[in-house]
Amino acid sequence: MNAPLRPRFAGLAAAAVLAVTLAGCTPGSGGTPAPTLDPDREIETDVSALGDRTLTVWDQEVRGGQDEQMTRLNAAFEEEYPNITIERVSQSFDDLGRTLRLALSGDNAPDVVQANNSRASMGAFVAADQLLPLDPWAEEYGWADRYPESILTYSTYSDDATTFGEGSLYGLPQVGEVVGVFYSKAKLDQLGIDVPADWEAFEAALRTAKDAGETPLLLGNIEKWPAGHVFGPVQGALVDSEEIQSLGFGNEGASWLTPENVAAAAKLASWQTEGFFNEGVNGTDYDAAWQSLAAGDGVFLMGGSWLAADLQDAMGEDVGFFVPPATAGEGARTTGGTGLPFTVTSATDTPDLAAAYIDYITSDDAMAILAETGNLPVVDTQQYAPASGVLRDVYTAFGSVTEEGALLPYLDYATPTMGDTLGEALQGLLDGRLSPEQVTEALEADYADFTAAD
């Protein structure tokens, strides 16, 4: 895995601040005023001194534990600062992705939004001057001391958005994410299967489950992106981590046209032809797949740590989680990173309040609430690990991957169109329309065109 890139805070002193001018608009910004530096105004960190204000926040924290932590944090913020009213608009990940671009270019853009780290979302918004660089507030609040450099890297872009992972800081995440394997403990007991210690043992477990008449591996891929959360960990076990990081960040110097990447696509295809997946994966809803695991209709489910709270509510102590390494005893290499960062739009008329809000919902106290509500705090994760249950499994896996293995970027980060390209390619692979070679050729075309233009 490449060494993390330190975000450059552009040498701004603590007194330097970012103000929004209304004097002009940047081409391509949809009428949103471009941010400019105003060194004459200091940052106001006393929210009580800002007067009566309404802060509009858009998030995608709609699931049980996610929604609970936002509800609690927003209520606590309003209680501490009764002069502030938070107007929260919460949408699903897919709905937020569809509506945010239009909202940011309109006349009534929200103040704070969660923006996907990818080039298609955060990168595009940065290029259009629709998000504020947060460097002055990062220095004022000490975010570089609170957050590991490797985490901040996922929210940094150059000012023109051509470079991902280096430049100014544009957002702060609340949660860490790691993609692994959920399973039913009762099913494993019935089948006489131990928790797999590596990928070879995991594949053997899938065959055992299949031979016993069970559905070995659940996947709902109607939305197209979920298959990437199966392919990513498989790729992590077979492909060099530095290669994956270059591919995932859309930086030059890598290629999809390697035997290892073809082998990863072939592995996913073989799981389908061997009958490891449920029937009709490309026509199954994402939520329906994990709900099937909870209902006892499958043995394993590959997915992200964000599902842990819902699965624990539905399955109690029956659900477990692991991330298989390529070789037993080694650190695993798998897809993961951070949840969607909270960003400040350049349309806001109260950037100090927006930044103070982000500081509040990512504070140490906030991390404790995240843990209480079944989420995975991105900072000091091990400190909040519960004594038992699937959440302990998730916390342990996240710590192991980040300390001993490699946490690899989501592959749709790479280019503005890679999410669609990857989704279409993997759907084609799973329904037999595309060969592994055709899949990697499609991904290479997207990646190579983007890096060549860059």
Residue 160 burial (CB count, 10 A): 10
Tokens of residue 334, six digits: 């798998």
* Dihedral of the alpha carbons of 74, 75, 78, 80, in degrees to the nearest 10: -110
Lowest mean pLDDT, pick from 135-144, 354-363, 405-414: 405-414
Closest CA to 188 of 290, 301, 269: 301
Contact between residue 408 and residue 334 where contact means Cβ atoms under 8 Å apart: yes
Closest CA to 308 of 322, 297, 328: 322
Same fold, 18-131+133-169+340-377 and 177-337+393-453: yes
Please give the sequence-ordered ranges of beta strands (E in DSSP) within 253-394, or none if there are none: 300-304, 319-322, 333-338, 342-344
Query: For the chain, what are the domain ranges?
Result: 18-131+133-169+340-377, 177-337+393-453
Tell whether the model's pLDDT for residue 20 goes beyond 80.
Answer: no
Fold of the domain spanning 177-337+393-453: D-Maltodextrin-Binding Protein; domain 2 (3.40.190)
Mean pLDDT, range 352-372, rounded to an integer = 96
- Tokens 């916390």 locate to 395
Contact between residue 233 and residue 408 where contact means Cβ atoms under 8 Å apart: no
- Which amino acid belongs to residue 282? N
How confident is the model over 245-263, as pLDDT tens digits? 899 999 889 999 999 999 9
- Tokens 């507030």 locate to 137
**In terms of pLDDT, which residue wins out, 440 or 398?**
440
Question: If DSSP codes are grouped into helix, strand and coil, which group holds residue 129?
Answer: coil
Contacts for 405 with CB less than 8 Å, ≥ 6 apart: 323, 325, 330, 331, 332, 333, 334
**306/260 Cα distance (integer angstroms):** 29
What is residue 289's predicted lDDT score, i.e. its pLDDT?
98
Tokens of residue 380, six digits: 């000091």
Contact between residue 261 and residue 440 where contact means Cβ atoms under 8 Å apart: yes
Which residues are registered as beta bridge partners of 322?
Answer: 181
What is residue 39's predicted lDDT score, i.e. its pLDDT?
52
Backbone angles phi, psi at 42, to 5 degrees: -85, 155
How confident is residue 416, by pLDDT bands cut at 50, 70 and 90? confident
Query: How is domain 18-131+133-169+340-377 classified at the architecture level of CATH?
Result: 3-Layer(aba) Sandwich (3.40)
- Tokens 């995440």 locate to 173
Please give the sequence-ordered ranges of beta strands (E in DSSP) within 100-227, or none if there are none: 112-114, 156-157, 168-169, 176-184, 217-218
pTM: 0.75
Chain mean position to CA 48: 33
Please give the sequence-ordered ranges of beta strands (E in DSSP) within 167-289, or none if there are none: 168-169, 176-184, 217-218
Contacts for 3 with CB less than 8 Å, ≥ 6 apart: none
The Cβ-side half-sphere exposure at 361, using a 13 Å CA radius, reads: 31
How confident is the model over 75-119, as pLDDT tens digits? 999 999 999 999 999 988 788 888 888 889 888 899 999 999 888
Tell whether the model's pLDDT for residue 23 goes beyond 60.
Answer: no
**119/195 Cα distance (integer angstroms):** 37
Contacts for 27 with CB less than 8 Å, ≥ 6 apart: none
Each as own residue / partner, the long-range contacts of residues 355-360 (CB below 8 Å, 24 or more positions apart, any chain) are: 355/43, 355/134, 355/137, 355/141, 356/45, 356/47, 357/55, 357/57, 357/77, 357/86, 357/112, 358/112, 358/134, 358/137, 358/172, 359/137, 359/141, 359/143, 359/172, 360/73, 360/77
How confident is the model over 308-347, as pLDDT tens digits? 989 999 999 999 999 999 999 999 999 998 889 999 999 9
How confident is the model over 25-71, as pLDDT tens digits? 332 333 344 444 465 568 999 999 999 999 999 998 888 888 999 99
Share of the chain above pLDDT 90, in %: 71
Contact between residue 247 and residue 256 where contact means Cβ atoms under 8 Å apart: yes
Tokens of residue 240, six digits: 């060099």
